Amino acid sequence: MKAKYIGESRPMSVTNGYVYYVKEIDKGWYRITSDPPIADEVMFPPECFELYKYEYMICTVVDEDIYYKQCAALEKHIPELQKLDELHDVDNSRLQEYLYYDKTIRVLNDYQLNAVHIESAIPLEPFFENRDDKLDEGMADLNAGRVMPSNQVREEMQRKYKK
């Protein structure tokens, strides 16, 4: 499982905003790891992290066009989505991060994994109204669940995530 550290940065340990892998959960606390490995493997309380509970594999190869289509689809279908700065890594990977209220959605064109994928703290299926309305035509059908009109989606997600 992946989790974004939202606590205070600690030199030689953890950095605010960095995504770590939860290696183990012991008595509710998280033991995390990263690449490169962090100096000390210590346990952290869960309130220091935002979990990425939902992962969507969009394409099994890196593809900048598909990556940008995924970003555009999220921006079109998710109301109140706040777009943050896009990050461009030295290996040419791209990461577009969004906030939906205080929850994070990340679209990655990831050369390390050789894939375009989405990591999200919220489920994305409710935002896509019908089975033909996909993130990228022919790539990912996010509407495996129920179907709802967009105003119902907006109201339900606002109730759930708005503070």
51-55, 56-60, 96-100: which has the minimum mean pLDDT? 51-55
Task: Provide the whole-model pTM.
Answer: 0.64
Integer Cα distance of 119 and 156 in angstroms: 21
For tokens 């990425």, what's the residue? 52
The class level of CATH for 2-51 reads mainly beta
So what's the pLDDT on residue 163? Answer: 58
Q: Under 8 Å CB-to-CB from 132, ≥6 apart: which residues?
A: none
What are the domain boundaries of the chain?
2-51, 54-161
Integer Cα distance of 66 and 82 in angstroms: 20
Could you tell me the end-to-end alpha-carbon distance of the chain, in angstroms, rounded to an integer?
Answer: 25
So what's the pLDDT on residue 15? Answer: 87
Task: Give the rounded percent of residues in the chain with a pLDDT score beyond 70.
Answer: 74
Flag whether pLDDT at 144 surpasses 60.
no
So what's the pLDDT on residue 149? Answer: 41
* Sheet strands side by side (includes 19-26): 43-44, 29-33, 19-26, 2-5, 49-52
Alpha carbon of residue 98 to chain centroid: 8
> Considering the chain, what is the average pLDDT of its residues?
79
Range 101-106 average pLDDT: 91
Of 98, 106, 123, 107, which is closest to residue 63 (Cα–Cα)? 107
Q: 154 falls in which pLDDT band (50, 70, 90)?
A: low
Range 39-68 average pLDDT: 86
- Tens of pLDDT, residue by residue over 57-79, are 898 899 999 999 999 999 998 98
Q: Which residue has the higher pLDDT, 53 or 41?
A: 53
So what's the pLDDT on residue 24? Answer: 82
